[in-house]
Amino acid sequence: EVQLVESGGGLVQPGGSLRLFCAASGFTFSNYWMSWLRRAPGKGLEWVATIKEDGSEEYYVDSVKGRFTISRDNARNSLHLQMNSLRAEDTAVYYCVRNGQNWGQGTLVMVSS
């Protein structure tokens, strides 16, 4: 069974940093592109970033370019999102997603002073 378990969310002040983790199991992690998506309170879903199977390509939504970095460790079956210079508008539940088909339960990031 495919499982994606996110962690690392929490409350952070504007301008601060957080690093999200996603532990993957139940499939060959290194064979799949992986993504982070989010849903802000009262808003719709938003794609944030995607990384290729071997980590050689990364794509980001414009609003996070230069602030967020997606990475992966295929040896440890884990996906990461380093978030710097956080803003109030980054407040959201962040989901780790495989191929659009499998989603984790999400981790809440709140950016507030």
Partner 1 sequence: DVVLTQSPLSLPVTLGQPASISCRSSQSLVHSDGNTHFNWFQQRPGQSPRRLFYKASNRDSGVPDRFSASGSGTDFTLQISRVEAEDVGVYYCMQATHWPHTFGQGTKLEI
Residues that bind partner 1 (CB under 8 A): 37, 39, 44-47, 50, 59-62, 95, 100-101, 103-106
CB of 113 to partner 1, least distance (A): 28
Nearer of residues 63 and 85 to partner 1, judged by Cβ: 63
CB 111, CB 12: distance < 8 Å: yes
CA dihedral 96, 50, 85, 113 (to 10 degrees): -30
Nearer of residues 4 and 111 to partner 1, judged by Cβ: 4
CB of 67 to partner 1, least distance (A): 15
CB of 19 to partner 1, least distance (A): 21
Amino acid found at 104? G
Q: CA 52 to CA 55: how far, in whole Å?
A: 5
CB 39, CB 45: distance < 8 Å: yes
